[in-house]
Structure 1
């Protein structure tokens, strides 16, 4: 199975996988609006790959077969500063000082 992988400039690390290059007909319109202009990253032969970075291969193939697309969302980034401030009994964000 071959799929096309697209990225968006709106969100770092977000990718849209579709079965056929430039065929976004299975992707909901609202998702396409939020995704923005898709930029082709690569054509990916799934049969030749054992693992796929941050994507579970079986989950990807199932989504492509069932709904025609798969949206890879980047992992939530941890805010270490906010966690540290909370551990010290402070608010997560420093209050801005007004003069």
Structure 2
């Protein structure tokens, strides 16, 4: 099943993103999370289906979380992930 998803970046934490159904926007995101997230700036809208690949998130998990709780929160990469990312560029 395809979903039209909007992705927001956090003004407070670099590389932290919220994925939500485009039609609902941020309505299902808890207020406490929005306060910690800071200003939510829309960065992208895309059609997601289980066959689509995302750079740092599992598409099936993203869609499942959006369906269950109304959003998916992508946390910034850990130090180990950043080191692996830098190592793969060399």
TM-score normalised by length of structure 2: 0.78
Max radius of gyration: which structure?
A: 1
Higher share of residues assigned strand: 2
Distance 2:50 2:78 in 1: 29
Q: Residues 52-85 of structure 1: CA distance to partner in whole angstroms, max 9, x if unpaired? A: 010001000000111110000012125x9xxxxx
Aligned residue-pair number: 79
Distance 2:50 2:42 in 1: 20
Which residue is equivalent to 2:78?
76
Tell me how large the CA RMSD over aligned residues is: 2.0
Deviations 1:22-50, CA, capped at 9 Å, x for gaps: 72121011000000110000101113962
In the other structure, the counterpart of 1:6 is 8
